[in-house]
Chains A and B, each alone.
Chain A
Amino acid sequence: MDITVNILLTIATAATPLLIAAIGELVVERSGVLNLGVEGMMIMGAVGGFGAGYLTGSPWIGLLAAIAMGAVFSLLFAVMTLSLATNQVATGLSLTLLGLGLSGMMGTSFVGQPGERLPNLYIPVLTDIPVVGRLLFGQDPIFYISIALTAAVMWFLFKTRTGLTLRSIGDSHTSAHALGIKVIRYRYLAVIFGGACAGLAGGHLSLVYTPQWVENMTAGRGWIALALVVFASWRPWRVLAGAYIFGAVWIGQLHAQAFGIPVPSQLLSSLPYLATVVVLVLISRNKRLTMMNTPASLGQPFVPDR
């Protein structure tokens, strides 16, 4: 029983950074902006979070620093693509390259240093309930943030006027502009929100998952988060499902490899990607719903005609 609980807890820990980064990117893409810089913003969050936690001794300050780092870094992307109307794909790619390089440079003195870990939640009595206690009341704080964030984004996008406005900009920025909606302002806020989420996701890696700094420690998670958004057809609960499927299969195949089952390890390592794609494609079969949820102006630079 304890093993099952431990496995479930590691799955949640593996899925949390993916979920947070993907939810942030979902909001960005719903506003019609494609930011391929998630990996770069994440690694900047990781190095910023670790550094602030290490230097101040407080993982909580590290957490705030990770969020701020991602947000500030995304601002660079926002200025380029929104104010200067550069190509979003090229700008996003260079943001990732810049982030990977810059974080490596900033983190040279952190390599090998012990980091601060965010403590897990502990509520007397509740956390001590067998099995469900640790799953529900004994995880790290960012796990709870990730779930609350998903619910909040769902509510925001589909139940509030501001959310409706954001979706309308993603559907047609020219129509939105014609109605007098401030397209660029909304997109700035969306991109910064996405950056803050990516930074938080990076902070999870260096403050919870493995509380240390290793160069390139995001290891492609930013790209997985990006893919999750598309395969989840821009819907929050599907992003949640996708992140957890990925996490579950990832942890499962690690255990399978440890058991030494006679399957090539390369094949096992590719399983999480395959499984996530298959499941999300299956639940996105409804073409009409997918069409309705796809931001039609995604990736197109917007220049108001003045």
Chain B
Amino acid sequence: MSADHDGANLLEVRGLTKIFGTLTACDHIDLNIAKGEIHALLGENGAGKSTLVKMLFGSLEANSGEIFWNGEAVRITSPGMAKKLGIGMVFQHFSLFEALTAAENIALSLDDGSPISSIAAKARALSFSYGLPLDPDSLVGDLSVGERQRIEIIRCLLQTPQLIILDEPTSVLTPQEADKLFETLERLRSEGKSILYISHRLEEVKRICDRATVLRHGKVVGHCNPREETASSLARMMVGNEVKAVVRAPADGIETAQPLLEIRALSRKPATPFSIPLKNINLNVRAGEVIGIAGVAGNGQGEFFESVSGEVLQQDAASVRIRGKDAGALSITVRRLMGAAFVPEERLGHGAAPRMKLSENLLLSRHATDGKVFVGTGGAVKSGAVYAAAQRIIVAMDVRKSAPDPEAAALSGGNLQKFIVGRELDRSPAVMVVNQPTWGVDAGAAAHIRQALIELARSGSAVLVISQDLDELFEISDAIAVMHNGELSKPLPIAEATFEKIGLLMGGAEPGHAEHTLETA
């Protein structure tokens, strides 16, 4: 990194280091951001991207290192200080207040004391001028994730920052919404603003970013011009080695295969005022196929998963059928005994008990289905057998851990996910339902999980995958259905599906589909 101040750099970071306990999250990071550029920050989950931007925004304090703003050394000790300098941030996990209106949310981050009514008008004007329409009086709890992100962006723009940090902004958007965001970003760039863009989606980085800094394990491993790189060369820089491509063998004879998971006219009232009702969902998943469910987060996927897994029971027992038997009113354990397996979205608290060891977590989910193996006479746990099985899964899924049998919470998100998916795959279930299988999992491990799901299907199981990651669904699915506002579209066979078609459905282009019945293709 050149250390000279030529005046063109808005932000210069030198030797920034952050240590959490024994982990060095950021290790002597150097970064330059010029005026009027879109700068990408690339890296796997856990590479230190979020820690770095939190230090730039003042919500974390660095252990050592220097930050220069317009050539002057600064210490950013609080978000308020960052704002004063002219740094704005759009968070990955939104920092919005659900019980307040959009205007109130925006007002909270402005310090000028102007009345809320004038903020509402300003926000409306600004949002329309950037093509991000927004109703300032709506309650945030009622808005979709895409709309929430608009509030974050408008809130950020109202502070007229010089540098805008966006943390994985497109992970929750439809392709069309993402296009709109890119237009906004390009417009901001032409106004001379700088943008630090964090993403793991390499195609979009290639498309809009001028320069890129790549992080791996907390260190800068390279700077490049993303337009001159290929997606796979960028991936190699991030991961450090070649990522294996997922292979999807053709699914033969599916047309005549038995449906193992049937969803019939599944409806559900909203459980809380902020959740989505499910409306007459019909779907068949046959032996040997992978069906993907796409959709912007918060369109009922969570509610749908709960109904299918049995976390919430259905009134109508026939609305969920597993291997030809009604299961809608049966508990999770009974559904598991029928041959189904479930991987929920939340790892800690749903997929695993955080403060229990991996082997104990294995026993918790499989004591019923594998009673003979794991539980001996008189209900005594065969801890040797459980431990051995846990180790088998750890090896099969390449789970990286610090102790032989650590607590679930001690694993990184990606490694815990590998264990949870592996725990269910190890049973070779006839029906597998997974919600967000590779969310926050690094590229190598994600490829491993995806391949395992395809192979499970090809060995004769029915696999249903709910995911926000369209690339993932196109990689593994034989057909993709889209969930929008509690309704599920007809599954599109993968040969007919395109990003554009799925994107339109995600945005709600096909409002009603009452005519849609049981058949899948």
| Complex partner residue of B96 from A175, A180, A293, A306, CB under 8 angstroms | A175
Mark A282-299 against chain B: 1 for CB-CB distance below 8 A, else 0: 000001100111101000
Q: A164-B116, A168-B108, A296-B99 are in contact. Are A288 and B273 (CB under 8 A)?
A: yes
Q: Is the CB of A180 within 8 A of B99?
A: no
Q: Is the CB of A180 within 8 A of B97?
A: no
Does A178 make an interface contact (CB < 8 A)? yes
Give CA–CA (A176, B98) in the complex, Å.
Answer: 12
Q: Is the CB of A287 within 8 A of B273?
A: yes
Shortest distance between the CB of A228 and any CB in chain B (Å): 21
Does B190 make an interface contact (CB < 8 A)? no
Taking CB as reference atom, which chain A residue is nearest B97? Answer: A171
Shortest distance between the CB of B409 and any CB in chain A (Å): 16
Chain B binding surface, main DSSP class: loop
Q: 8 Å CB contacts to B: which residues of A172-215?
A: 172, 174-181
Does B91 make an interface contact (CB < 8 A)? yes
A164 contact set on B, CB distance < 8 A: 100, 104, 107-108, 116
Q: Is the CB of A306 within 8 A of B61?
A: yes
Does A58 make an interface contact (CB < 8 A)? no
Q: Is the CB of B98 within 8 A of A171?
A: yes
Chain A: interface residue count, which band?
20 to 34
Q: Is the CB of B97 within 8 A of A172?
A: yes
Does B109 make an interface contact (CB < 8 A)? yes
B80 contact set on A, CB distance < 8 A: 180
| Complex partner residue of B274 from A165, A174, A291, A306, CB under 8 angstroms | A291
Q: Is the CB of A179 within 8 A of B108?
A: yes
Give CA–CA (A176, B83) in the complex, Å.
Answer: 14
| Complex partner residue of B95 from A174, A287, A296, CB under 8 angstroms | A174
B107 contact set on A, CB distance < 8 A: 161, 164
Shortest distance between the CB of A157 and any CB in chain B (Å): 12
Q: Is the CB of B96 within 8 A of A167?
A: no
| Complex partner residue of A178 from B79, B81, B99, CB under 8 angstroms | B79
Shortest distance between the CB of B267 and any CB in chain A (Å): 19
Question: Nearest 8 pairs between A and B by C-beta?
Answer: A180-B79, A180-B80, A175-B95, A178-B95, A288-B273, A171-B97, A292-B99, A168-B97
Chain A interface (Cβ < 8 Å from any Cβ of B): 161, 164-165, 167-168, 171-172, 174-181, 287-288, 291-294, 296, 305-306
Q: List 24 A-B contacts (CB under 8 A).
A: A161-B107, A161-B116, A164-B100, A165-B108, A167-B99, A168-B97, A168-B108, A172-B96, A175-B94, A176-B108, A178-B79, A179-B79, A180-B58, A180-B78, A180-B79, A180-B81, A291-B272, A292-B139, A292-B273, A294-B99, A296-B98, A305-B59, A306-B60, A306-B61
